[in-house]
Chains A and B, each alone.
Chain A
Amino acid sequence: MAEFELDCLGEACPVPLMKTEKKMAGLKSGDTLIVHIDHSCAMKNVPEWARKQGHNVEVEEVGDGEWDVIIEKC
């Protein structure tokens, strides 16, 4: 049940999604990954991908144009 973070601030699509996919592959079931993003299309495609994989996903708007995508691995 470890928690990991991934800093994707300042990165444009599709880099945040590719980094998230890579990072998630190394996590165990029940682990949580918090992805920090500030690119609005990543706010759409990262959660979309994670939900398709069956993970639990929450998106939190932490500031103007800044989001945390919280993914719990299934």
Chain B
Amino acid sequence: MKQFFDKISKNRYYAMVFKNPFTYVTGAVLLSLFQIALFAYSGNPWGVSGAFANWGAWIYRLFGGNVDKWYYFSSSGAQQTLDAGVLNNSGSLMNFGIAAGALLATLLASQFKFKKIKSIKQVVAAVLGGLIMGYGARLAGGCNIGALFSSIASLSLSGWVFALFLLVGAFIGSKLLAKFFL
């Protein structure tokens, strides 16, 4: 078994597809093709962060909470999605697919590694950053996938407005990064 894997990992085509990183252009073309296929199949543009809000609601429900009166979940469509459960939510399934696919990709490239946490600063930055990103994505009606990538692909002006402010945020973020992490 080990011999077999040692052998295929040296194969030129295996290295090309699974081991070496794709170029940005290859990645962009693949993303475009897959999002077109997804749109054609499901009728909804690709989004990621919307499902996270539902996960939050489901977890809250597990502990006996009720989000029926929350403005964000008050529409009958949102209630239907929540009542149908996580396994009937295409956005959640796609997110599981992303995580599973990323794990598979890193295993196929034999690059899987548990990385150590270097400092408490990293933890604080990750938690704070995650909270701000999640909250911002819900206020903006999407993240860089739903509100940027899918919007621009749907010829919506809002995607370009999002892009403009994403640049402003990235600029401020990189200044903060240089200040706290260099």
B residues less than 8 Å from A18 (CB atoms): 177-178, 181-182
A38 at the interface (CB under 8 A from B): yes
Give the contact-size bracket for chain A: 10 to 19
A22 at the interface (CB under 8 A from B): yes
Assess whether B178 is in contact with A66, with CB atoms less than 8 Å apart.
no
B154 at the interface (CB under 8 A from A): no
Q: Which candidate, B32-40, B49-57, B83-91, B112-120, is the interface stretch facing chain A?
A: B112-120
A15 to B181, CA, bound (A): 7
A residues less than 8 Å from B113 (CB atoms): 38, 63-66
Give the contact-size bracket for chain B: 10 to 19
| Min distance, Cβ B49 to any Cβ of chain A, angstroms | 19
Assess whether A10 is in contact with B182, with CB atoms less than 8 Å apart.
no
Residues 15-43 of chain A, each 1 if its beta carbon lies under 8 Å from chain B, else 0:
10011001000000000000000111101
Q: Closest A-chain residue to B119, C-beta based?
A: A10
B81 at the interface (CB under 8 A from A): no
Assess whether A65 is in contact with B111, with CB atoms less than 8 Å apart.
yes
Contact pick for A40, options B111, B117, B122, B181, CB 8 Å? B111
A residues less than 8 Å from B118 (CB atoms): 9-11
B110 at the interface (CB under 8 A from A): yes
B residues less than 8 Å from A9 (CB atoms): 115-116, 118
Contact pick for A65, options B106, B116, B117, CB 8 Å? B106
B residues less than 8 Å from A64 (CB atoms): 110-113
A residues less than 8 Å from B101 (CB atoms): none
A11 to B113, CA, bound (A): 13
Residues 144-182 of chain B, each 1 if its beta carbon lies under 8 Å from chain A, else 0:
000000000000000000000000000000100110011
Residues 48-74 of chain A, each 1 if its beta carbon lies under 8 Å from chain B, else 0:
000000000000000111100000000
Assess whether B116 is in contact with A40, with CB atoms less than 8 Å apart.
no
A residues less than 8 Å from B136 (CB atoms): none
A39 to B21, CA, bound (A): 12
Contact pick for A19, options B111, B112, B182, CB 8 Å? B182
Q: Closest A-chain residue to B174, C-beta based?
A: A14
B residues less than 8 Å from A63 (CB atoms): 113
| Min distance, Cβ A61 to any Cβ of chain B, angstroms | 9
* Leading 4 A-B pairs by shortest Cβ distance: A65-B113, A65-B111, A10-B118, A10-B116
Q: Which residues of A contact B (CB under 8 A)?
A: 9-11, 14-15, 18-19, 22, 38-41, 43-44, 63-66
